[in-house]
Amino acid sequence: MRKRGRPTRSIAALVLSLALTWPSLTAPAAASAAPAAPAAPAAPAGPAALAATPPMGFNNWNAFGCDVTEELIRETADALVSSGLKDAGYRYVNIDDCWSLRERGPDGTLVPDPAKFPNGIKGVADYVHGKGLKLGIYGDAGTRTCAGYPGSLGHEDLDARTWAGWGVDYLKYDNCNNQSDGSQADYIRRYTAMRQALDRTGRAIVYSICEWGTSQPWTWAKGVGHLWRTTGDISDDWPGLRSIIRQNAPLAAYAGPGHWNDPDMLEIGNGGMTATEYRTHMSMWAMMAAPLIIGTDLRTASAETLSILGNRDVIAIDQDRLGVQGAVVSDEHGLMVLDKPLANGDRAIALYNSTDALATVSVRAGATGLRRAGAYRLTDVWTGATTQVKGTISAGVPAHGTVVYRVRPLDDPATVAPAVAVGAELGTVVPGPTGGGTLTTSVTNRGVGAVRDLSVAADVPEGWTATPAAEPRRARLATDATLETTWQVGVPAGTPAGRYPIDVTASYRWGPRNRAAATSSQVVAVVVTAPEDGRRHLSTISPVTSVNGSGPVEADQSNGGALENDGNLITIAGRHYTRGLGTTTGSELRYYLGGRCSRLVTDVGIDDEAAAGPATFTVHADDAAVATSGPVAAGEPPKTLTADLTGRAWLRLTVESASAGVSADWAEPVLTCGDVPDDSPVLPESRTLFSFESGTEGFTIANPGDGGSVSQTPLFHTEGANGLKVATPVAGNWFGRALDTPLDLTGATMLKFDLKAGQVGTVGEIAVQVGEAMSWCQGGLWTWTNPGASKTVTERFEQIGCPVGVTLDPGDIRAVWVFLNTGGEVLIDNIRAE
Ligand code: GLA
């Protein structure tokens, strides 16, 4: 549950004193551990009219983290007005964590940080209200907020009164440091306490419950909060977005006016995703009747960002007064169809493609809530185009894209253009005369009445060829008929590996007046090339395709659970590996070798995080099995497989078992390609800085007053036979040391260390001191590790921030430190540069 964007602190202060305090982070107990839920106490949620439709507004967290100020909030309010977003419905301007002082005032009240809010929260509320907007604040149902500011547990009435007195209209109420036993009853108790405190203030305040879906709030929070988070924190990347949609979409039945599922705030505009992905973000939030809380810098937002956030047709779907979250009509192979009824009788139908390739997504009108009709009119809410279909709503949807139609029955289809779906499929493409690939295009007329003079074109990159097997033309294509064409695609030798777009366009005529029209879809050609010469960790080479039995395949960690990046160190029968592939049974990974590789050597085994098995690991070269483990049981020591790949074009790794989804590891697989000596170093090269083989290696504590200690231990090691046992203070400390001679890490790009958390989990971070002045440069990731879990903490040099005027020169490292916290024991090893 740990987050990116921990607060940045004044580096100057750090250099002077190194006196750092850090919040303790309590990981929420798993919801599954919760005993049967008691009935929620009957608590009034204030007038449902307060959030009759999903709240819309802005929150600073996604773009600014802790850097929130009165100026930012005021300028954002101005920008909401001047950009037209206020008129489009965005109302709340919400302040997130870090707005208060670190301690309560002498009278016990929360105190706005005077440096950030010179006019207090009241001052900024007045300003925001003056613009016809509303102000939101952030609190926490624990002893401290996530960033370590005072929490409201046990101070509910005082804090609610304080906020109401300042004119606050919206409260986001978080869940860090919650002192919880993990039971649902405890969650209900803590969040209801604030509900009742808000009620007692008499002020209408929207109440946003933010406990990350931990206690399944959708089952109890109606009548307590107006909205509740259903997932962990969103991040500005595609896997994160896809995962949140997958978690929130099935919860449609629980949402309605005054009680909404909240899949978290918008990342649109923050730069980590493509415009297609951001349109999916906006489309799916609207279809899921989700709160639309903008999370980007509106003062500098691009025209494209503003047009996505400001699309009135999409907003109208989100804000429709029926207040029904779109239901999942179908969800197969990564293609999802949602159906949302609208107050005027129309339905919004979304065709969502979460796969990595263009796909034709279809739904019969009869499978949705649309009433029976001879034809339907479709308005594409992103392009504005209007088409008609007879009975199947269908479109070629780009990878990661979503098409949203507003649909209604249509009496007279003759005057509306027929909907034509253009699909295309293309496997991987190999450059050169013996390579190439096969493209299959399909054009389907979904409209009432035939289309005429149909022709199909494939627009390939410069220098490529696309040759159809037969003339891609039809004089006439009837309703629901398809023209399928296969094309041989040729790619010039030397074309670099990558993704290359190919536009497929169907041109045709329709209707009594023989009007010309065209429909295009974009398919992406994936050009694969053989790995470079050398011995390489396979986990650093991208597979061409990757299928897993459960959750994503993880690189350099075990499979873990359903989410990306949620594994542990790969561990087989107690042996830890820092490299490898964390798969599950039922997985298949394919790599292109192009006849240039000779050998794969790998350990295999069932990960210690799994209890089941047995499973069989097999290495296939082209169609032959070239190495196999035979059945391997859980707890069995790792087996080593050596596979001869000489001359083979493809490598395929499979794990088979009677039980699906069991965590299964390819531990430290190394692939040899080209003509390289057997003893050449495995790439990427890694240099151990501290191995703790000879003792504690002089490790000290940066802030002696804060406590902590270190000792050598054989209990955990990822290289050699020993690691370091670190006892941490609750607020944390930096462990490490100054070096006798400056360390030259020129050529390395990152620092890493491995850790195993004790009973309370820990945050891990890395800092270095550089140059004569011993300038303190620290990372900003604050990676969280759950209790008992293990992990590699990684920080790229470019992620490490130095004081103004100092640049991090990897050639002149004077000290290395790691940060650990929460007041328990943490085992670490193998601090290294790569
Ligand atoms: C939690 C919440 C985030 C944000 C941060 C602030 O992680 O889920 O949305 O409010 O805390 O520290």
CATH number at residue 450: 2.60.40.10
Mutation test residue for ligand 1: of 94, 210, 212, 294, the one with most atoms within 8 Å of CB: 210
442 touches 521 (CB < 8 A): no
Distance CA 294, CA 311 (A): 13
Give the number of domains in the chain.
Answer: 5
Q: In the numeric block, which tokens belong to residue 660?
A: 């699906």
What pLDDT, on the 0 to 100 scale, is given for residue 29?
32
Q: How far is the CA of 292 from the centre of ligand 1 (A)?
A: 16
What pLDDT, on the 0 to 100 scale, is given for residue 48?
55
Q: How far is the CA of 306 from the centre of ligand 1 (A)?
A: 24
Tell me whether the omega of the peptide bond preceding residue 704 falls within 30 degrees of 0, making it cis.
no
What pLDDT, on the 0 to 100 scale, is given for residue 815?
97
Ligand 1, residues at Cβ distance < 6 Å: 3, 61, 96-97, 145-147, 174, 210, 212, 233
Q: Which one from 233, 264, 346, 665 is the annotated catalytic residue?
A: 233
Q: How far is the CA of 336 from the centre of ligand 1 (A)?
A: 29
**Where does a domain end: 466, 497, 525?**
525
Distance of CA 342 to the CA centre of its chain: 30
Q: Which atom of ligand 1 is nearest to the CA of 264?
A: 9
Distance CA 313, CA 305 (A): 15
Is 816 inside a domain boundary?
Answer: yes
What pLDDT, on the 0 to 100 scale, is given for residue 563?
85
Same-domain pairing of 344 and 226: no
Q: How far is the CA of 152 from the centre of ligand 1 (A)?
A: 15
Is 798 inside a domain boundary?
Answer: yes
Same-domain pairing of 588 and 645: yes
**pTM to 2 decimals?**
0.74
Q: Helix 275-287 vs helix 238-248: angle between axes, to the nearest 10 degrees?
A: 10
Distance CA 154, CA 143 (A): 8
CA dihedral 84, 87, 88, 91 (to 10 degrees): 110
Distance CA 750, CA 833 (A): 6
What pLDDT, on the 0 to 100 scale, is given for residue 427?
83
Same-domain pairing of 506 and 567: no
Element (H, E) at 191: helix 184-201
Q: Which structural domain range is residue 609 located in?
A: 534-683
Mutation test residue for ligand 1: of 8, 64, 146, the one with most atoms within 8 Å of CB: 146
Distance CA 123, CA 508 (A): 62
Q: What angle do CA 436, 439, 443 make, to 5 degrees?
A: 165
Same-domain pairing of 720 and 612: no
Q: Is the dihedral of CA 147, 148, 149, 151 positive or negative?
A: positive
Identify which of 359, 503, 489 has the alpha carbon closest to the alpha carbon of residue 432.
489
248 touches 231 (CB < 8 A): yes
Same-domain pairing of 705 and 750: yes
Is 30 inside a domain boundary?
Answer: no
Q: How far is the CA of 174 from the centre of ligand 1 (A)?
A: 7
- Nearest residue CA, atom 11 of ligand 1? 146
Tell me whether the omega of the peptide bond preceding residue 638 falls within 30 degrees of 0, making it cis.
no
Our answer to whether residue 233 is catalytic in this structure is: yes
Q: Which atom of ligand 1 is nearest to the CA of 175?
A: 1
> What string of H, E and C letters represents the secondary structure of 143-166?
CECCCCCECCCCCHHHHHHHHHHH
Distance CA 563, CA 554 (A): 10
- Nearest residue CA, atom 8 of ligand 1? 233
Q: Which one from 174, 236, 297, 339 is the annotated catalytic residue?
A: 174
What pLDDT, on the 0 to 100 scale, is given for residue 434?
84
Each residue of 134-169: b (16+ CB within 10 Å) or e?
bbbbbbbbbbbbbbbbbbbbebbbbbbbbbbebbbb
- In the predicted model, residues of the chain with pLDDT beneath 70 are 1-48
Is 519 inside a domain boundary?
Answer: yes
Q: What radius of gyration, in Å, describes the C-alpha atoms of the chain? A: 29
Mutation test residue for ligand 1: of 1, 2, 3, the one with most atoms within 8 Å of CB: 3
What pLDDT, on the 0 to 100 scale, is given for residue 22?
31
Is 32 inside a domain boundary?
Answer: no
Is 17 inside a domain boundary?
Answer: no
Other beta carbons within 10 angstroms of residue 740's beta carbon come to: 8
453 touches 469 (CB < 8 A): no
Is 26 inside a domain boundary?
Answer: no
629 touches 667 (CB < 8 A): no
Q: Which atom of ligand 1 is nearest to the CA of 212?
A: 8
Q: How far is the CA of 600 from the centre of ligand 1 (A)?
A: 43
- Nearest residue CA, atom 12 of ligand 1? 146
